[in-house]
Structure 1
Amino acid sequence: MNPPEPPPTHELSTNGVGPWPGEWPTGDQWDPELLTHGDSRNVVDRYRYWRMEAIVADLDTRRHPFHVAIENWQHDLNIGSIVRTANAFAADAVHIVGRKRWNKRGAMVTDRYQHVLHHPDVETFLAWAREHALPIVAIDNVPGSVAIETYRLPERCVLLFGQEGPGLSEAALAAADVVVEITQFGSTRSINASAAAAIAMHSWIRQHASLESSPGA
C-alpha cells in the first residue's frame, strides 16, 4: 500500500509544515525527527521531511552540467547569495577561488545541499577546469567582452564571477576561454555581483535546462 501524499502545497508550506499527520510513510529518505516535530526548512515540497543526505543524493541524480566559480579575496558578502542561487538552479558544484573561508550568511544553509569546492588560487582552479575539460566563461563588463544575450553558453562549463566592486582579477580574466557581459541600459557602471550571477545562471537555464526536470513541475 502506497503511503499517503504529504498534504502541503507550495503556498501552504512556505513557512514550513507541522508533524506528519496520520500514518508515517516508509523509506530511507524520511527523517523521523522531522516527521515527529515538523519541517521548517526552506526546501521545496518534494523534499519535505526528507533527511539532508537523501536530498543531496537525489539532487546528485539531476544536477546540471554547469559549475559556478567565485573569486574570494575580500570576504565578499555576495558569495553566500551566489551559492544559494547555484543551489536553486541545481549547479553541479560551486568553486571558491582564493580564501577558503567565506561568508555563509547569504547562503541560508543551502551550502549543506550544494557541493562546494575550494581552490587556493586561479592557477589551481584553471588546472582543475582543464583536467575536467570545462571551458571557463567569465562574467565581467570589460573591453572585448561579448553580450551574454547573444552568446550561446556551452552546456558543460564553469561560470566565473569576481568580487563586488573590482570584478574579476587579471589572472582570472586571462584564464577564461571567453568573457561575457550583461548588457545594461542605465547610468550605473555595474550591477550587484550576486544579481549578475543569478542572471548568468538563468541564461544557462533558459538555453539548456528542461523545465520538466524541476521538482515543482
Structure 2
Amino acid sequence: MSETHELSTYGVGPWEGEWPEDPRYDRELLEHGDTRNVIDRFRYWTMEAIIADLDETRHPFHVAIENWQHDMNIGSIVRSANAFGANTVHIVGRKRWNKRGAMVTDRYQHVLHHETVEAFVDWCRAAELPIMAIDNVPGCVPIETTSLPRRCVFLFGQEGPGLTKAAVAAAEQVIEITQFGSTRSINASAAAAVTMHDWVLQHVYNRGPAA
C-alpha cells in the first residue's frame, strides 16, 4: 500500500547532501527543489519516471466522462482517477476540457479522447471492457449491493443532465449511489470518487458489496 501520511505538503527545497545517482531523479529538481503535487516517494523524480512507476501498479478499471458542455467536474474526476490508480481516463465528446481541477495530475494519468459515444463503445468492445454507467435512472441498481467487475469502465455523465440515452443504452449495467437526503443528485466528481473507492474496497481490500 502507498503512504497515507505525506510530510512534504508544500514541497521540498533543493536536495541536501550528495546527489543520488539513480537516473529517475531530475537534476533540475535536485538543484532547485520540488513543489509539484506528488507524493513524497516521487519527490525529485522526472515525470517520465513517475509515469513508468505508476504504470506498474495501475488498477484494471477505467473511468469515462461524457463532455458535451465543457463540464468543470472533469478535472476533479481526473484528479480522483489518479489518486485511486485508475488505468485510463476517457473523455467522450469535446476534446477540450477544464484542466484546472486536475491540479496537474493529468500529466501522470493516461487520458484518451473519443469523439462520439459510438467510438467510445467500439474501443471498449475491442478492449473487452464492460461499461458500467453511473446514474440514478429507472432500472439502475445500488452500488452498495453490486459486485463490480475487476476490469471495466465506469461511465459518468454531465453535471445536471447526467448520461445521454446513447450512453445508458451502451452500458452493461447502470448503477446508482444510494442517497438519503433531499437533493436529486450528487456532484459528478463526488460520484466518481465514491465509485472508485467502492471498487478499491471490493478488489483491493476484498470486502465485497454489502449484502
Residue deviations 1:65-86, cap 9 Å, x none?
0000000000000000000000
Structure 2: state its 5+ residue gaps.
207-211
Aligned equivalent of 1:94, options 84, 89, 105: 89
Once the two structures are TM-superposed, the CA of residue 42 in structure 1 deviates from its matched residue by 1.1
Contact 1:69–1:158 (CA<8 Å) still a contact in 2? yes
> For the residues of structure 1 that align with 2:129 and 2:5, how far apart are their CA atoms?
36
> For the residues of structure 2 that align with 1:28 and 1:20, how far apart are their CA atoms?
15
Secondary structure at the counterpart of residue 42 of structure 1: coil
Matched length: 203
Residue deviations 1:177-203, cap 9 Å, x none?
000000000000100010001000111
In the superposition, the TM-score normalised over structure 2's length comes to 0.94
Matched, 1:69 2:102: no
Give the structure 1 partner of residue 185 of structure 2: 190
Residue deviations 1:139-184, cap 9 Å, x none?
0000110000000100000000000000000000000000000000
Give the structure 2 partner of residue 57 of structure 1: 52
Give the structure 2 partner of residue 112 of structure 1: 107
> For the residues of structure 1 that align with 2:97 and 2:70, how far apart are their CA atoms?
6
> For the residues of structure 2 that align with 1:10 and 1:175, how far apart are their CA atoms?
40
Matched, 1:122 2:139: no
> For the residues of structure 1 that align with 2:78 and 2:184, how far apart are their CA atoms?
24
Change (3 A) 1:10 1:33: farther
> For the residues of structure 1 that align with 2:111 and 2:144, how far apart are their CA atoms?
28
> For the residues of structure 2 that align with 1:11 and 1:80, how far apart are their CA atoms?
22
Give the structure 1 partner of residue 209 of structure 2: none
Once the two structures are TM-superposed, the CA of residue 209 in structure 1 deviates from its matched residue by 2.0
Give the structure 2 partner of residue 214 of structure 1: none
RMSD value over aligned CA atoms? Answer: 1.3
Once the two structures are TM-superposed, the CA of residue 26 in structure 1 deviates from its matched residue by 1.2
Show structure 1 runs of 4+ deviating over 4 A. Answer: none
Amino acid at match of 1:70: I
Q: Percent identity?
A: 75
> For the residues of structure 1 that align with 2:44 and 2:200, how far apart are their CA atoms?
28
Residue deviations 1:1-26, cap 9 Å, x none?
xxxxxxxx945300001111101111
Contact 1:72–1:98 (CA<8 Å) still a contact in 2? yes
Contact 2:7–2:40 (CA<8 Å) still a contact in 1? no
In the superposition, the TM-score normalised over structure 1's length comes to 0.91
